[in-house]
Amino acid sequence: MTNLKKWKLLQSRLVINNKWCLVRQDKVELSNGTIIDDFFINVRPDIALIFPVTPQQEIVFVRQYRHGVKEVLLELPAGAFNPIEETGEIAASRELTEETGYVANKLIKLATLYDNPVKDTNSIHLFIAENVIKSQQQELDITEEIEVVLIPVDEVIKRVLIGEISVSGTVAAIFLGLEYLHKSNCI
């Protein structure tokens, strides 16, 4: 049990309303009575992130440019979705196929996490997909240029430890996915 109290929302308005970016300005009263009139929140869609494992015990990764950090990064397939319009499982399956051409017959939810709960509204829904099979070509969005990379399951942690894999949601999914495989006696 905690004695911590939620902040009281006094006023809220969108200050940026663009298809690529929604930013809300909240006026809040803290539990100690202090009022902050310019607490900015990024209104973001939820993310479905997939830990896809092939029958050959390889993990399907994607390599792509990320403009926010101006780096080409190695990460797991993922994408945005609106939970009112589709489930996390449907979004995960769709994103896996669109970004990689691989298909999952079954998805198992590993966890739901917050990436940046201080300033972002969204959750990341992590899934594992075993025995994924390449069945089609990628169907990429206009902002996506993606290289598919297969990494043997026993090399993945090493790639995290040397910094080759450094995206937080991907790292969380790797540890949860490997734990799931270990408990299932798949590795």
Q: How far apart are CA 123 and CA 43, in angstroms?
A: 11
Residue 83, SS3 per DSSP? coil
Amino acid letter at 2? T
The full set of domains in the chain, from first to last, is 8-42 (no CATH), 46-183 (3.90.79.10)
74 forms bridges with which residues in the sheet? 63
Question: pLDDT at position 186, please?
Answer: 64
Question: pLDDT at position 117, please?
Answer: 95
Question: pLDDT at position 1, please?
Answer: 83
12 — phi, psi (to 5°)?
A: -150, 140
Q: Of 100, 94, 93, whose CA–CA distance to 134 is shortest?
A: 100
Question: pLDDT at position 176, please?
Answer: 98
Q: For the chain, which ranges sit under pLDDT 50?
A: none
Q: Are 54 and 130 in contact (CB under 8 A)?
A: no
Considering all CA atoms of the chain, what is the largest pairwise distance in Å, rounded to the nearest integer? Answer: 58
Question: pLDDT at position 187, please?
Answer: 61
Question: pLDDT at position 50, please?
Answer: 98
Taking the whole predicted model, whether its pTM rises above 0.75 is answered as yes
